[in-house]
Amino acid sequence: MTILDPTANLRLLAWLSPAFPTGAFAYSHGVEWAVETREIRDADTLFAWVNAILSHGSGRSDAILLRHAHAAQGDIETLTALAELALATSPSRERRAEAVHQGNAFARAAQAWNNTLLPKLAAAAGDLPYVIAVGALAGVSKIDPDLVTAGVLQGFAANLISAAVRLVPLGQTTGLAVLAKLEPIILAVTTETRCSTLDDLGGCCFRSDIASMRHETQYTRLFRS
């Protein structure tokens, strides 16, 4: 990975920070249901769950969509089509809401950097999936696409782990150990998706998709997905 513009990469650190107001902490991506059914109950089962999502599920698909949004270089028509495609890949109502609420929040918060792209894209597309918003802004900001992809995957994995740490519960040290163990997976997905086309979208993490559907009617819930 090559850092081409220190200022642009400082922006990426800000945009992917847990403190950036996207509301990601409110979503578990189905982890809450998986904990209730004991499919996630310790470090090993948490690692297996997140690894599968990154390698074969929504993590991989989101990386592909993000890369294409980055490559669009601000073309509103292309980005609008990508936003529609991203929403069409959502397997449940909660997954769609998770993507859209975070994407719209990201677009609003990113206006602090005086960007004009995301307001135009929001006006054209309506709802903005998170990975499309981040990929589009990173693309016009000339941030290395590998760096953006790895950063978004890392943030996504960290958020799922954070949910599990609170729900199982697991200790913070255990959660960090799982995140460290996922590093080669994140880098492998980053490399694999470098030349992926939109025809490569898709996944086989059916339990994760079912978790997002079952969570809608779960009796007690701390998270929105």
User: What's the one-letter identity of residue 85?
Assistant: L
> Rounded to a whole number, what is the largest CA-CA distance in the chain?
49
CATH superfamily, domain 25-196+203-217, is: Urease accessory protein UreF (1.10.4190.10)
User: Exposed, middle or buried, 32 (CB in 10 Å: 0-12/13-18/19+)?
Assistant: buried
Cβ contacts of 9 within 8 Å, gap of 6 or more: 3, 143, 144, 147
pLDDT, tens only, 150-184: 999 999 999 999 999 999 999 999 999 999 999 99
Region at 2 (left for phi over 0; alpha for psi -120 to 50; beta for the rest):
beta
Q: Which residues in the chain land under pLDDT 70?
A: 1-4
pLDDT given for residue 4 in this prediction = 61
Q: Which helix (H) or strand (E) holds 180?
A: helix 172-181
pTM of the model: 0.95
pLDDT given for residue 203 in this prediction = 87
